[in-house]
Amino acid sequence: MWYAKRSSVPVFIIGHVTKDGAIAGPRLLEHIVDTVLYFEGDKGHSFRILRAVKNRFGSTNEIGVFEMKDSGLEEVSNPSELFLAERSQRTTGSVVVSSLEGSRPILVELQALVSSTSYAMPKRMANGVEQNRVSLLLAVMEKRLGMHLSGQDVYVNVVGGMHIDEPAIDLGIVAAVTSSLREVPIEPGLLVLGEVGLGGEVRAISQAEMRIREAAKMGFKRCLLPERNLAKLEPIDGIELIGIREVGEALDVVLA
């Protein structure tokens, strides 16, 4: 720190990380630096995410996406295109949602697989989303929509190794699980947005216009979003906006 401040030379300090993902040892290292950066990624995928968890002079909500190539790491200027590159067009249980990472909306594919269980307790597994949130949404589906999931194993996965922890993807999870359960594919050009409450209502999300414009640039033709968001939006060229109030209404549109 003494050298960096007196010489105006940026210094990178590499610290050891525990199994939980926290910096090991005393908190001294985190206190003396201006920024703490985490380099995340699944070893089974070729790209990595650079995420700030502390930034003394700016936002910690931004991320950088990089792809590992023969020449080293290269920036991915359009992460949405990368994450959707291998998406199948007519697969059940697949839906596209939008995650807002700082000021950057990223479209990702969310997959769900529902299959009959052979165990007394059905499995609930989630990769890339919070498992407790998935369990909560499954309970809403059983109570509000009358779906029988107690005899089904449910697996939810965010394609590409991304981790999403915002409620705007709730409706996408419900749609993907229902699509797999009923064996009905979701329209490929449909973006699904919305937070789901315990009463089955679909609540408004933040930065809806930014997410939808990103989808329009990627060629999506329709967007399902909360009615409260729709009321505040002007028409967007190239994409049809469909407002809904409850989960049941959304599934009628998605699985029509």
Same domain? 51 vs 112: no
On whether both 61 and 188 belong to a single domain, the answer is: no
Same domain, 132 and 205: yes
pLDDT of residue 44: 67
Residues 122 and 241 in one domain: yes
Element (H, E) at 110: strand 104-116
Per-residue pLDDT of the chain (256 residues; tens, 9 = 90+): 899 999 999 999 888 888 776 788 777 888 889 998 888 776 666 778 888 888 998 877 677 888 888 888 888 887 777 777 777 777 899 999 999 877 778 899 999 999 998 888 899 999 999 999 999 999 999 999 999 898 999 999 998 778 898 999 999 999 999 999 999 999 989 999 999 999 999 999 999 999 998 898 888 999 999 999 999 999 898 999 999 999 999 999 888 7
Q: In 3D, which of 110, 112, 225 has the Cα closest to residue 163?
A: 110
Last residue of a domain, one of 47, 77, 107: 77
Residues 87 and 68 in one domain: no
CATH of the domain at 176: 3.30.230.10
Structural domains in the chain (count): 2
The domain of 196 spans 81-254
140 and 159 part of one domain: yes
Question: Between the CA of residue 154 and those of 59, 70, 121, 243, what are the distances in Å?
Answer: 36, 38, 11, 28
Say whether both 145 and 47 belong to one domain. no
